[in-house]
Structure 1
Amino acid sequence: MNRYPLWKNLLLLAVVVIGLIYALPNLFSQDPAMEISGTRRAEVTADTRTRVEEILRGAGIGSKAIEHSANNRLLLRFNDSESQLRARDLLEVELGSDYSQALTLSTDVPGWLRGMGALPMYLGLDLRGGIHVLIDVDMEAAVEKALERYTDDIRSLLRTEKLRYTRVAQEGERIVVQYSSAALRDKAYDVIGNEFRELVLESADLEGDFLIHAAISRAEQAQIRKFALDQNITTLRNRVNALGVAEPIIQQQGERRIVVQLPGAQDPAKLKEMLGATATLEYRLEDTEGSVDAALAGKLPVGSKLYRTREGQPILLKKRVIVTGNQITDAASGFDQTTGQPAVIVNLDSAGGSRMRRVTTENVNKPMAVVFIETRPETTMVDGERVTRKVQVEEVISVASIREPFGRRFQTTGLDSPQEAHDLALLLRAGALAAPIDIVEERTIGPSLGQDNIDQGFRSVVIGLALVMLFMAVYYRAFGLVANMALLLNLVLIVAILSMLQATLTLPGIAGIVLTVGMAVDANVLIFERIREEKAAKKAQRLAARKRRSR
């Protein structure tokens, strides 16, 4: 007889019902699908959906459904993989590089379940198929680049302070500054030490030459390596997002390696091109005297070049580059302390800061633009065949007026929202790779192999569950049936919790579920065996099942 209070029974019932609801989406099949996402140049709108429908209808490609998802993407479901691939090839050409197409699998969960937030678990790379890439970051090159930058900065600093030197050169892992007198050397030592506190300085005299040896401190080298790794991760994530792959995994492994996993992606050549693509940033002054209309007609002013903004508006900029993205050491989003408007705070290295101060001093109240330059693959159809070639795209991502002269640290305003400021800071930091990368390992898992893993994993769970339940039912009879019901509920709740957390299911995860099925009845076996012992001692069944009180 059930002696538990009503609220405990209701709580148990509620947990079971919720578990069944959130485990249910994992039973629905997955359709071949394609996600269309926008880029900085174009957004997915209702017009995009209409255009996609017309393109598919004109080519005779049927779609199961077309949905506009909450993350501003267009999800196309197909009845078979053949239609999915045909649609990808067609839309990749018709929509151009303004949109990204990603092949994926999408579960056909009813709307009432999705409205409750009930979604299936994500499938890992070994179940869904895709590409696994292990990337090594050349940390030595990052430190070498920093040493070259310090060499140029020291040379510029000594020229500014009018401390004429014999030579400033990089020798191995240190910078050597040579003077003809000890007095000048000592003055330069103090100036360099005050300006670059992250450098370790040593004085040396060698055959009438008075030298300063400057080396990057260990703490600064560690910071340079960390910055290079973090910036490369941000850059790679930005590039992978352009592919539109669903649930990409980009994370650090060890001190110098990055793991990139793209579930559902099956084109390693395109992935390599995207990861190795070049991108940079340039700051240029706007040509306010020239005529944009004349430039559009082909009459460009001398020393100017025509660009386009993200919205497609033409803009005339000076050819002279002030600084490039390689001279940006950091960028962060924030707010203007005076107006409260969204802003991006940018830090330059010494050479870039000196050049920026000189240019802004001469051009106060004039607009300055940030140009994003990227080389990426573009696919076209030539004689019925897909041809991929590299194209260079230049676009103006920000234009702001110079309010007052500034140097190494300044802020860019005139942005529409904090999100735009965050995105711009990301582009400024991740426009180019901070250090060279090398793909040291590459694995491609086909979707058929992933489906085989799913089928075998599901079969192992079913067989293990069936054997355990059969043993419990035969050996313990009525008690075994109760344990079997608890075992089923345990399995349902595990799946429900993983689905609610949107966890990623992998082959080791399936092995863990199989192990759980076997171990979950362990407590029941102990309890049932104790009951048998008590019954063998001539105790009533109700007393045998009662927990013995501690004396």
Structure 2
Amino acid sequence: MLNQTPIWKYVLVVFMLALCSLYALPNLYGEDHAVQISSGRDTTVTQALAANVESQLNKANIAIKAVEFENDRILIRVPDSDTQLLARETLEKSLGDDYFVAMNLAPDTPDWLDDLGGTPMKLGLDLRGGVHFMMEVDMNSAIDTAVGGVVDEFRDRLREEKIRYRSVRKVGDAVEVVFRDEDVLESAQFFLRNSYQDMTIDERDSLTLRASFTEARLTQIRDYAVKQNITIIRNRVNQLGVAEPLVQKQGQDRIVVQLPGIQDTAKAKEILNATATLNFRLVDGEGDIRDAVNGRVPAGSELLYERNGQPVLLKKQIMLEGSHIIDATNSMDENGFPQVNINLDSKGGSKISKFSRDNIGKPMATVFIEFKATDERDANGKLIFEKSEEVINVATIQSQLGSSFRITGIDSASEARDLALLLRAGALIAPIQIVEERTVGPSLGKENIELGMQAIIYGLIAVLIFMLIYYQAFGIVANIALVTNLVMIVGIMSMITGATLTLPGMAGIVLTVGMAVDANVLIFERIREELRDGRSPQQAIHFGYDNAFSTILDANITTFIVGMILFAVGTGPIKGFSITLMIGILTSMFTAIIVTRVLVNLFWGGKKITKLAI
């Protein structure tokens, strides 16, 4: 018999609708205005602090909905935006600079729904408000760092091969090696060319080799600098408790950082402007520190200072760079003294093992390097960075180190915690500067949401009225499918972890509302054609759906491919639009072909009817 729906299709439709409705439900509960407190460099958020904060707000007669302590942060829910602003100002005055106090929006999802993983859609910066930074990576510093690493490698490899040289030094973006005679130069040139195929190694004169990176290798260094800095910035933001950050590459040397819900740009810049790196070097125990202070620094050494002003004479050769650290935790040793436990990647473990094996019993210094932007600019108009170096720890190498080792001799537990946080957050490969900064206020975000919702609702109502008038009873079926389609889009957007709804994304939903009925229009017009050709109502329904399927599939596949291209090559708003467009295409295919067919078969399938209201 024609137009009979198998049981599995009923089950599929009911399951999909129930699942999407469940995960769309959190969006009905909205969000609370909240103030978030997270720990600073020398402090820890505790349950006692939460009780103290609640007491202070009560004394200031500030209305509180709830105070929550979890994941080492305090979240204070308040009734409205005015109370939120007042609470933040009160807490900033009482807590000072010891803690980070930021405004946020917290989902008001019931506990039972939250336990099932139900969360509202993540809103982008243009809808939620927050801060936006465009950051530029200093590629010159990235290349300088890479060249400096090659200088150390050349020295080590030539010594291992017993190739004697006079000097290895960095000259601009190249490395120059000076030898004692031409025979040694020839053997060194053969060895280096085979070992460093990503470098161009030429003979500058009869006793000097010049090595420089190939263009492909320079491109790789630049890409790595941006990607590594993105990872490190994301880690820093996550370590300090900023919720739902967006950190992504834009162009060749720029990084976009968006912090939705955060209004305090000063605190956000404090996190992001920590443009620093770490390295480990041996202390020069043979040089005279007094001579060095007076300006007579031994060749191969460098004079630096500790935080208390104590001078330290260090070897220039770097034992280990901070980029090799993959994890760091603070703890107490067997005698109750603070220490930092460090885990390295395989390359870092190999380097530190080799250096420490030859230097057991010698002091090793941890050097903190910070790049600060000056008011001067180079010929290309980019800010010039000033390099600042400081010794933050000196510890004696007790034994040969490996991929895991510990730093001891730290003054306090808080200093150990701060050092572990800095190591864990990572060291920037190259300095960065903020070239663009803007703040989107929560009131503007709220206005964008209201306007976007109006566009969706007005568009939906117009389409519903048209379908109802033009296709009568079948228009009711199409309207049910259209509302189901919207529920599915919201549910799927809420389920996808990385999906964020932006203002262009809302435009994509409005477009989907119009496109979703295209398939039904094609199907219903084919049914009308079949009826005009003299087929019975049951035959018209059957052939109408079957004949329209290929046209619907072709049209939606081509649009979906365009959406994929937009997502692949686009940034920010374009990605937001393409995500909702692609999800809308998939859900509209499901509702137009399967849901409407199930409903049509349920109402008219298998029945003796002589006329269709279409």
* TM-score (norm. length: structure 1): 0.73
Higher deviation after alignment, 252-261 or 219-228 = 219-228
Q: Which amino acid aligns with 1:139?
A: M
Please tell me whether residue 258 in structure 1 is matched to residue 255 in structure 2. yes
The change in CA–CA distance for 1:81 and 1:179 in structure 2 (over 3 A counts) is same
Cα separation, 2, equivalents of 1:348 and 1:249: 29
Please tell me whether residue 122 in structure 1 is matched to residue 122 in structure 2. yes
1:460 to 449, 455, 462: 455
Q: Which amino acid aligns with 2:145?
A: K
Q: Which amino acid aligns with 1:32?
A: H
Counterpart of 1:87 in structure 2 is: 87
Cα separation, 2, equivalents of 1:16 and 1:281: 53
Q: Which amino acid aligns with 1:445?
A: V
> Which secondary structure does the structure 1 equivalent of 2:207 belong to?
strand
Q: Which amino acid aligns with 2:234?
A: R
Specify every segment of 5 or more residues in structure 1 that has no aligned partner in the other structure, as ranges: 287-302, 308-316, 335-340, 377-391, 416-422
Contact 1:332-1:346 at 8 Å conserved across structures: no
Task: State the number of aligned residues.
Answer: 485
The change in CA–CA distance for 1:278 and 1:491 in structure 2 (over 3 A counts) is closer
Contact 1:234-1:430 at 8 Å conserved across structures: no
Shift of 1:25: 1.7
Q: Which amino acid aligns with 1:34?
A: V
Cα separation, 2, equivalents of 1:172 and 1:372: 24
> Which secondary structure does the structure 2 equivalent of 1:9 belong to?
helix
Counterpart of 1:299 in structure 2 is: none
Shift of 1:201: 2.5
The change in CA–CA distance for 1:253 and 1:425 in structure 2 (over 3 A counts) is farther
1:394-446: CA deviations, max 9, x gaps?
987x98x855345xx7531599xxxxxxx999954754422122333333322
1:19-418 aligned at under 5 Å gives the runs: 19-38=20-39, 42-69=43-70, 71-97=71-97, 99-151=99-151, 154=154, 163=164, 165=166, 168-179=168-179, 181-186=181-186, 189=189, 199-205=199-205, 210-241=207-238, 244-281=241-278, 327-328=321-322, 330-332=324-326, 343-345=343-345, 356=356, 359-362=359-362, 402=397, 404-405=399-400, 411-412=404-405
1:328-353: CA deviations, max 9, x gaps?
4523469xxxxxx9943475699999
Shift of 1:84: 1.5
Counterpart of 2:528 in structure 1 is: 532
Cα separation, 1, equivalents of 2:217 and 2:433: 24
Cα separation, 1, equivalents of 2:447 and 2:20: 27
Cα separation, 1, equivalents of 2:319 and 2:81: 42
2:496 to 496, 501, 506: 501
Q: Which amino acid aligns with 1:30?
A: E
> Which secondary structure does the structure 2 equivalent of 1:547 belong to?
helix
Contact 2:78-2:84 at 8 Å conserved across structures: yes
More helix per residue: 1 or 2? Answer: 2
Counterpart of 1:382 in structure 2 is: none
1:491-540: CA deviations, max 9, x gaps?
11111111122421112221121111112222222233333344445555
> Which secondary structure does the structure 1 equivalent of 2:200 belong to?
strand
The change in CA–CA distance for 1:348 and 1:220 in structure 2 (over 3 A counts) is farther
Higher deviation after alignment, 218-227 or 320-329 = 320-329
Counterpart of 1:387 in structure 2 is: none
The change in CA–CA distance for 1:59 and 1:9 in structure 2 (over 3 A counts) is same
1:437-472: CA deviations, max 9, x gaps?
233333332222211111111001110110111111
The change in CA–CA distance for 1:370 and 1:175 in structure 2 (over 3 A counts) is closer
Shift of 1:95: 3.9
> Which secondary structure does the structure 2 equivalent of 1:177 belong to?
strand
Shift of 1:545: 2.7
Cα separation, 1, equivalents of 2:149 and 2:250: 28
Q: Which amino acid aligns with 2:27?
A: N
Higher deviation after alignment, 427-436 or 259-268 = 427-436
Shift of 1:225: 2.5
Cα separation, 1, equivalents of 2:405 and 2:64: 45
Cα separation, 2, equivalents of 1:478 and 1:163: 92
The change in CA–CA distance for 1:26 and 1:498 in structure 2 (over 3 A counts) is same
Cα separation, 1, equivalents of 2:16 and 2:136: 47
Higher deviation after alignment, 346-355 or 538-547 = 346-355
> Which secondary structure does the structure 1 equivalent of 2:262 belong to?
coil
> Which secondary structure does the structure 2 equivalent of 1:247 belong to?
coil
Higher deviation after alignment, 186-195 or 224-233 = 186-195
Q: Which amino acid aligns with 1:132?
A: H
The change in CA–CA distance for 1:520 and 1:220 in structure 2 (over 3 A counts) is closer
> Which secondary structure does the structure 2 equivalent of 1:119 belong to?
coil
Shift of 1:103: 1.4
Cα separation, 2, equivalents of 1:549 and 1:249: 43
Q: Which amino acid aligns with 1:147?
A: V
Cα separation, 2, equivalents of 1:156 and 1:395: 27
> Which secondary structure does the structure 2 equivalent of 1:477 belong to?
helix
What is the RMSD of the two structures over their aligned residues, measured on CA atoms? 4.5
Contact 2:23-2:118 at 8 Å conserved across structures: yes
Contact 2:523-2:544 at 8 Å conserved across structures: no
Q: Which amino acid aligns with 2:272?
A: L
1:436 to 431, 435, 447: 431
> Which secondary structure does the structure 2 equivalent of 1:546 belong to?
helix
The change in CA–CA distance for 1:343 and 1:533 in structure 2 (over 3 A counts) is closer
Cα separation, 1, equivalents of 2:254 and 2:522: 48
Counterpart of 1:12 in structure 2 is: 13
> Which secondary structure does the structure 1 equivalent of 2:263 belong to?
coil
Shift of 1:7: 5.1
Cα separation, 1, equivalents of 2:169 and 2:278: 28
1:257-285: CA deviations, max 9, x gaps?
21111112234444344322243446599
Please tell me whether residue 515 in structure 1 is matched to residue 508 in structure 2. no
Counterpart of 1:472 in structure 2 is: 467
Percent identity between the two aligned chains: 44
Shift of 1:120: 0.9
Specify every segment of 5 or more residues in structure 2 that has no aligned partner in the other structure, as ranges: 284-303, 329-340, 373-388, 409-417, 548-614
The change in CA–CA distance for 1:541 and 1:99 in structure 2 (over 3 A counts) is same
Contact 2:359-2:397 at 8 Å conserved across structures: no
Q: Which amino acid aligns with 2:218?
A: Q
Contact 1:103-1:245 at 8 Å conserved across structures: no
Q: Which amino acid aligns with 2:460?
A: L
1:284-307: CA deviations, max 9, x gaps?
999xxxxxxxxxxxxxxxx99899
Contact 2:33-2:84 at 8 Å conserved across structures: yes
* TM-score (norm. length: structure 2): 0.66
Cα separation, 2, equivalents of 1:470 and 1:37: 51
The change in CA–CA distance for 1:542 and 1:97 in structure 2 (over 3 A counts) is same
Cα separation, 2, equivalents of 1:170 and 1:373: 20
Cα separation, 2, equivalents of 1:37 and 1:115: 24
The change in CA–CA distance for 1:371 and 1:467 in structure 2 (over 3 A counts) is same
Cα separation, 2, equivalents of 1:246 and 1:329: 25
Contact 1:284-1:320 at 8 Å conserved across structures: no
Cα separation, 1, equivalents of 2:546 and 2:28: 46
Please tell me whether residue 490 in structure 1 is matched to residue 491 in structure 2. no
Cα separation, 2, equivalents of 1:266 and 1:522: 42
